[in-house]
Amino acid sequence: MTQTRLAIVGGGIIGRTHADAIRACPGSDLVAIVDPFESGKSLAKDLECPHLETLAALIGLHPDGVIIATPNALHVPQAMTLIRADLPVLVEKPLGDTANSCAALVALSDRTGVPGLVGHHRRHNPIVQAAKTAITEGRFGTLVSGTISATLYKDARYFDVAWRREPGAGGPILINLIHEIDLVRHLFGEITEVTALTSNSQRGFDVEDTAAVILRLETGGLITIALTDAGVGPWCWDTTAGENPARFPAMPAVSHMFAGTQAGMSLPDLSFWTHEGPRDWTVPQVNRLLDRVATDSYIEQIRHFAAVIKGNETPRITLSDGARNIAVIEAIRGSITQRRPVPLGTHRINTSPKPKAMME
């Protein structure tokens, strides 16, 4: 098997997670970390990996693919430079800072056939895959109502990095909520209308620390999301799913509760509730756990990226998905500023562009 040579641009917190995943993924090698600043240099030193300062130097190295793990505002320009240089990219979420800039990136990838993925890694998680299977097999039915809690308490040091306090780059709507948006769209389909309120009463930054969001789905279901990075509680995917034990403890709590026409399902415990007889609130319900295979989402993401680069798989989370997630976030921002529900329309997500290797 030929090794897939991957580089990481941005050697910060998530850059390290990707580096560990590449090293743990058979068939992939980490060939460079590109980051002109101290954090990237020291990560490269720790990992005894070549360190570069510019994208131009990276392009000269001809890696097979590049992971972009820099601050949000750099994602689209860096991805465009790399795609123009014929290099497939895995871009961390959020794909970009505006839906328009994301659309330009989607168009470039479509035109060139150079593939791109977005780092909404939960779609690689076996818990999400088990939930999706129950939905696609019809055991859950159609989503009627859902409740998602994203309760995180981020310590003060997290906000020492300036962009995390800045509107348009930081804040839990862009950094954390976008994962929930992608998860909802992946499991239940398109979002057609949003309503939201925010508060910054705890931290007092220009960006929100708390939000309440309601989503209307194309299928008619409604989902409410309670989001905060300043409230204490375990009810959050990151702190319950055990997905990144190097960073977060896995607390025994649920963060997602979905009511379907046939069953109820909570995550990440994969509890699946159905009536013992007719669907009726007076009839007892039985609970069982859905099966899942234990795999590491970040390692699976790297395996998938390598398979996309080789033309053996098509992107599971396309650049169009990333762009649509940003469009939902923009609508949420619109709802906050206009103090009203905002419709999104039912624009369809393109199928991912065929990777070059598949076109040839």
* Contact flags string 73-112 toward ligand NAD, x per CB under 6 A: -x-----------------xx-------------------
Q: Give the shortest CB-108-to-ligand NAD separation in angstroms.
A: 19
Q: Which is nearer to ligand NAD, 9 or 217 (CB)?
A: 9
Please give the size of the binding site for ligand NAD, defined by CB under 6 A: 24
Token pair in block for residue 88? 């497939």
CB 237, CB 268: distance < 8 Å: yes
Beta-strand pair 28-34/51-52: parallel
Beta-strand pair 116-118/89-91: parallel
Contacts of residues 162-167 at CB distance under 8 Å and 24 or more positions apart, as own/partner, are 163/71, 163/72, 163/73, 165/205, 165/206, 165/207, 166/206, 166/207, 167/206, 167/207
Site for ligand NAD in 114-173 (CB under 6 A): 119, 121, 161
C-alpha torsion 252→253→257→262, nearest 10: 40
Nearest residue relative to ligand NAD (C-beta): 12
Q: Which is nearer to ligand NAD, 73 or 212 (CB)?
A: 73
Q: Give the shortest CB-14-to-ligand NAD separation in angstroms.
A: 4
- Enter the DSSP assignment of 136: H
Q: Which is nearer to ligand NAD, 91 or 135 (CB)?
A: 91
**The residue to which tokens 């240099």 are assigned:** 41
Taking CB under 6 A as the criterion, the residue among 4, 70, 98, 210 binding ligand NAD is 70
- Whether the CA torsion 90, 95, 101, 102 is positive or negative: it is positive
Amino acid identity, residue 147? T
- For ligand NAD, which stretch binds (CB under 6 A), given 4-12, 184-192, 206-214, 289-297? 4-12
Q: How many CA atoms lie within 13 A of 164 on its CB side?
A: 15
Q: In Å, how far from its chain's centre is CA 25? A: 20
* Contact flags string 11-50 toward ligand NAD, x per CB under 6 A: xxxxx------------------xxxx-xx----------
- For ligand NAD, which stretch binds (CB under 6 A), given 70-78, 127-135, 202-210, 250-258? 70-78
Q: Give the shortest CB-254-to-ligand NAD separation in angstroms.
A: 19
CB 173, CB 211: distance < 8 Å: yes
Taking CB under 6 A as the criterion, the residue among 67, 95, 131, 175 binding ligand NAD is 175
Q: By the criterion CB under 6 A, which residues form the site for ligand NAD?
A: 9-15, 34-37, 39-40, 69-72, 74, 92-93, 119, 121, 161, 175
